[in-house]
Amino acid sequence: MLYGKEHVARYQETDGAEGHDWNGTVTLLLTTTGRRSGKEGTTPLIYQRDGDAHVIVASDGGNDDDPLWYKNIQANPEVKVQVKGDKFTARARTATADEKPALWKKMTAVWPDYDEYQTKTNRDIPVVLLERV
């Protein structure tokens, strides 16, 4: 099973032919700019569509701290996204309290472990919308 840097490399090399379908769900590649380093970093993340937006979850497996990519989008919400061969710029934003319940349900339908991750941490795991610009 692809994971981490290998996942990113194979996804990029094959325009998602390898890596988009992953472990019974689908992934995209999110590229953020480091809030301290200024360097780009790319992370494979499970996603679903909600209208024109792509929805992702900042779970980090239920760790007590937000993932680095989420901290980066808080500092600079302009990101690059790749879904299969479709590469585009997007603006990332955290779902509002009103939006989150329906989006959380959509995401746990494809990755039920998100519910378990939430029980492992006191932080409210953010749901993020990636809106094409």
- Contacts of residue 122, Cβ cutoff 8 Å, sequence gap at least 6: 64
8 Å CB contact between 11 and 80: no
pLDDT in tens, 63-95: 999 999 999 999 999 999 999 999 999 999 999
**Count of Cβ atoms closer than 10 Å to residue 37 Cβ:** 9
In sequence order, the β-bridge partners of residue 22 are: 25
pLDDT at 118 over 90: yes
- Read off the pTM: 0.97
User: Do 130 and 48 touch, CB atoms closer than 8 A?
Assistant: no
DSSP state of 52: T
Query: How far is 82 from 114, CA to CA, in rounded Å?
Result: 22
Amino acid at 83: V
Q: Give the CATH superfamily of 4-132.
A: Electron Transport, Fmn-binding Protein; Chain A (2.30.110.10)
pLDDT at 1 > cutoff 80: no
Confidence label for 36 from pLDDT (cuts 50, 70 and 90): very high
